[in-house]
Structure 1
Amino acid sequence: MTTSPSGPPPPSDGLLSAARRNLRELAQGLSHPSHPPAPLLAGSPRLWLRLLPYAVVLALAAVFVPVTIQVLTGDYGVPGGVAGALAVGQAAPLLMLAHRPLQAWWIVFAADVVGALVLLGQGPAPGTLWPWPPPAVIGCLFVLLAVGLRERRQTLIGVWLATGAAGLAFRPVAPERSDDSALLLFVLGGVVLVIGAVVRERSEARRMLAEQETISEAERAQRTLLEERTRIARELHDVVAHHMSVITVQADSAPYRIGGLSEEAQAEFASIAAAARESLSEMRRLLSVLRSDGSRGELAPQPGLDRVQQLVEATVRAGLPAELSLGSEVREAVERGAVPQTVDLSAYRIVQEALANVVRHAPGARTRVSVTARDGHLTVLVVNEPPSEPGSPLEVSGTGHGLVGMRERVRLTGGTLDTGPLPDGGFRVAARLPLPPSEPPPAPLTPEEP
């Protein structure tokens, strides 16, 4: 028993399979609309655009129904009742073009075929078109345009071929008659379908581009937020690492600084120092992940409120008239270390970013910077007047990265941020950062009674 070797199927089978697949796609496209029954311009924000398709289809139906009756009765000699029925079948479905153009084409197509059979029974009329009279040709072109604006390419190809095949099928029935209207509708119908498809695809491309721009903008904002959080995390690493280093040194030196410690206490201090060193190692590994490839850590100390005066002076030298009001209570709190490092750094960065925004968006605007500390909060206020030279900003529309960074820093410290334009055209940035409760002064020692 021998078996024939398996091989690729004959080319004819492949062609037949492709032909059957294409026919199934055409049939599927002709029988199933590709869009929900919604008006053509239903998503337009303007009312008159949403009402425009209804006005157009009403006008078309109002024009084509009487015109079709007049042409069928006057030029083709069709009885009035039959002409009225054909006119309703060929022109009334135009009312469906706003919602269901494919279903309207089926009705118009069937009515046109019935009309061609009726005209065939009437006998040839000199100077008339057959099988499609002029109103049927023009009305069908409107239907094809509506179909082209809503349906897929497979559906359009099926509609065009079906229309051409119907006109071609009437030729052998009455070869003595002129079939110019069949050829005319076939050619013009193809042109109209192509125009409708081009307009539809262009509209879909613009819609998809707008959606992609929206998605890209959202992704850009999210990326900006993550980058700003990473930057803040890198800066806070130095703050936390300093405290952990202090804990490590104090725990390691405790047995030498404090005499008479038990072995349990010395073991506890050793455990604290080991845990602090391990935490420092973990933080360094985390920082290596947060830091960009090829970047190196900053070696300069982190700035704080003690450098706000230098920041404002540098801004003034850059051409921005700025004034600083730094309360004496703030200076005292900074000198005695009552301001946490995270609050100290966040306040400096907020002032820095606010001044940078003024330079970019309102060059020459007089700016006031105020830092006060009262009621357990540090308040940072940056207010600028309208720019002295309107129409000459370095940046017309910003990315909002600075405000994102401010919000993240304020959120990190548990404070609040208020930003927004002023009625006179200026801008205001107000941050309120919490301060730890001040420790009460120690009670004075009283002399012991003898």
Structure 2
Amino acid sequence: MPSFPPPPPQSPPPAPPHPPADGLLSAARRNLREFGQALSRPSHPPTPLLAGAPKWWQRLLPYAVVLALVAVLIPVTIVVLNHQYGLNGGTAGALAVAQAAPLLMLAHRPLQAWWIIFPAQILGAIVLFGQSGTQHNAWPWTPPGQIGYLFLLLALGLREQRRTLVAVWLATGTAGLVLYVVHPERGTDNSLLLLILGAVVLVIGATVRERGEARRRLAEQETISEAERAQRTLLEERTRIARELHDVVAHHMSVITVQADSAPYRLGGLPDEVQEEFASIAASARESLGEMRRLLTVLRSEGTEGERAPQPGLDRVQQLVEATVRAGLPAELSLPAGLTGLPPLVDLSAYRIVQEALANVVRHAPGARTRVSVASDGTHLTVLVVNDPPQRTGSSLAPLETTGTGHGLVGMRERVRLTGGTLDTGPLPDGGFRVAARLPLPPASAPSVSSVPPLNPEDS
């Protein structure tokens, strides 16, 4: 058999790369890169400080402050550099302008101003290396330059984020430390003093800025809460509309059903086609009642547009009772003639209570004699609807419904609760039902809206 050469030895798989051992250096480089980005990119748009103030003088205040600051610091810096540090007038003027003039940018671009002032301060310290006056004066930061730099840090604290502020503070401390190490014998070192004062100023500015941001966020949250309250009010209004729909449509549809069912018995000698038509009307009305109930459930959560017709009141109770009588329900009404000037809410609530009570009698107690009474003692309006047991003398007088949804009684209670009154409902011992509402009226000394005289005869 032919022999085959042995396979070459396989080299071991390459070992996975070791994690870098200089983790501290990598973290330091990453932090330096982040600090560099913080110093190179402002964290706010170039909008002026106090741009959103309500008054014009408040919006101009930052410009007035920086203008006054620059107008004071430039000549003071020239005098100090010339007389105390021994610089000639030209050099002192150039350094003064470089260190103080960029302060005009504090109102809208403080970080860009720092990029000009900070190198100018370092350049000024280097220029003072060979001056004899430096031996007995503050160094590396001159007193005017130190004051201007603190104002610059305050403006940064009011505008920039914490990372930028920390980067500026570290850069300031590093520059002071390097200058001290290079020339430790030069004058009275004030780099540590500037570092401490700068930290205090930055903390104050950052605190004021964060407090303002917290107030803005709180205002935004209050705006959101106001929108939520408006949405809740809208849902409550939709619930009211659903209740109005139930009060109005259910009543009229019930009356139509009763009229259509009782027409063949009330009107003798009707042809078969007419009786079938009445039966079809009654069936359609019952189906509409069922659809209305399902729509009512949707309206209580989804809502619809409000009605635009004027709200009814007690002046229409007579029409309501007459319509109920025409539907075959014997009803009596007791209503004082001089009952006017009621508050709109009480007037509407009284009408709806009577309407719902009569609709319940039509649906659940057909043919029952009903008594409606409305009275007032000056302090309260009393609405009373009492019906006898249902009259079961024919198939046409069978109850339209054996069970209810309870929306009618809920609507009554809600209306009475809104007026601050009381409601008493329940069955009577003889099999009837009683609805009694007691609604408070305002004192007689407080005229209602309806009692206000018109502005001119044409308005009446």
TM-score band, normalised by the shorter chain?
0.5 to 0.7
Counterpart residue type for residue 76 of structure 2 = V
Where does residue 87 of structure 2 map in the other structure? 78
Following superposition of structure 1 onto structure 2, how do residues 363-374 of structure 1 map, counting pairs within 5 Å? 366-369=445-448
Is structure 2 residue 376 aligned with structure 1 residue 310? yes
Question: Would the aligned equivalents of 1:30 and 1:159 in 2 still touch at CA under 8 Å?
Answer: yes
Question: Would the aligned equivalents of 2:156 and 2:202 in 1 still touch at CA under 8 Å?
Answer: yes
* Matching residue within 162, 178, 189 for 1:169: 178
TM-score using structure 1 length: 0.62
* Matching residue within 375, 381, 384 for 2:450: 381
Following superposition of structure 1 onto structure 2, how do residues 399-410 of structure 1 map, counting pairs within 5 Å? none
For residues 301 and 12 of structure 1, what CA distance do their matches in structure 2 show?
Answer: 87
Cα distance per residue 1:282-311 (max 9 Å; x no partner)? 33234445669xxxxxxx983369988538
The DSSP-based 3-state class of the residue aligned with 2:180 is coil
The DSSP-based 3-state class of the residue aligned with 1:170 is helix
Where does residue 239 of structure 1 map in the other structure? 248
For residues 68 and 140 of structure 1, what CA distance do their matches in structure 2 show?
Answer: 13
For residues 201 and 58 of structure 2, what CA distance do their matches in structure 1 show?
Answer: 22
Question: Would the aligned equivalents of 2:82 and 2:88 in 1 still touch at CA under 8 Å?
Answer: yes
The DSSP-based 3-state class of the residue aligned with 1:278 is helix
Q: Identify if the C-alpha distance between structure 1 residues 364 and 22 changes in structure 2 by more than 3 Å, giving closer, same or farther.
A: farther
For residues 81 and 12 of structure 1, what CA distance do their matches in structure 2 show?
Answer: 53
The DSSP-based 3-state class of the residue aligned with 2:181 is coil
Is structure 2 residue 176 aligned with structure 1 residue 110? no
**Structure 1: runs of 5 or more not aligned:** 293-299, 317-344, 356-362, 370-379, 385-417, 423-430, 433-450
Where does residue 52 of structure 2 map in the other structure? 43
For residues 25 and 41 of structure 1, what CA distance do their matches in structure 2 show?
Answer: 29
Is structure 2 residue 107 aligned with structure 1 residue 57? no
What is the aligned length?
Answer: 330
Is structure 2 residue 154 aligned with structure 1 residue 88? no
Q: Give the structure with higher Rg (CA).
A: 2
Q: Identify if the C-alpha distance between structure 1 residues 109 and 239 changes in structure 2 by more than 3 Å, giving closer, same or farther.
A: same
The DSSP-based 3-state class of the residue aligned with 2:352 is coil
Counterpart residue type for residue 133 of structure 1 = T
Is structure 2 residue 162 aligned with structure 1 residue 153? yes
For residues 111 and 150 of structure 1, what CA distance do their matches in structure 2 show?
Answer: 22
Where does residue 182 of structure 1 map in the other structure? 191
Q: Identify if the C-alpha distance between structure 1 residues 270 and 365 changes in structure 2 by more than 3 Å, giving closer, same or farther.
A: closer
1:12 is displaced (CA, Å) by 6.3
1:83 is displaced (CA, Å) by 0.4
More displaced, 282-291 or 120-129? 282-291
For residues 257 and 21 of structure 2, what CA distance do their matches in structure 1 show?
Answer: 83
For residues 25 and 99 of structure 2, what CA distance do their matches in structure 1 show?
Answer: 37
Identity %, equivalent residues: 66
1:134 is displaced (CA, Å) by 1.2
For residues 59 and 297 of structure 2, what CA distance do their matches in structure 1 show?
Answer: 57
1:145 is displaced (CA, Å) by 0.2
Counterpart residue type for residue 131 of structure 2 = Q
Where does residue 374 of structure 1 map in the other structure? none
Counterpart residue type for residue 163 of structure 1 = T
- For the aligned residue pairs, the C-alpha RMSD in angstroms reads 4.0
Is structure 2 residue 258 aligned with structure 1 residue 249? yes
1:61 is displaced (CA, Å) by 0.7
Where does residue 197 of structure 1 map in the other structure? 206
Q: Identify if the C-alpha distance between structure 1 residues 61 and 307 changes in structure 2 by more than 3 Å, giving closer, same or farther.
A: farther
The DSSP-based 3-state class of the residue aligned with 1:37 is coil
1:54 is displaced (CA, Å) by 1.6
1:199 is displaced (CA, Å) by 0.6
For residues 250 and 179 of structure 1, what CA distance do their matches in structure 2 show?
Answer: 108
For residues 27 and 452 of structure 2, what CA distance do their matches in structure 1 show?
Answer: 72
Counterpart residue type for residue 50 of structure 1 = R
Is structure 2 residue 233 aligned with structure 1 residue 224? yes
The DSSP-based 3-state class of the residue aligned with 2:46 is coil
The DSSP-based 3-state class of the residue aligned with 2:185 is coil
**Structure 2: runs of 5 or more not aligned:** 1-9, 302-349, 356-371, 383-410, 422-441
Cα distance per residue 1:142-167 (max 9 Å; x no partner)? 00001101111111111111111111
Where does residue 149 of structure 2 map in the other structure? 140
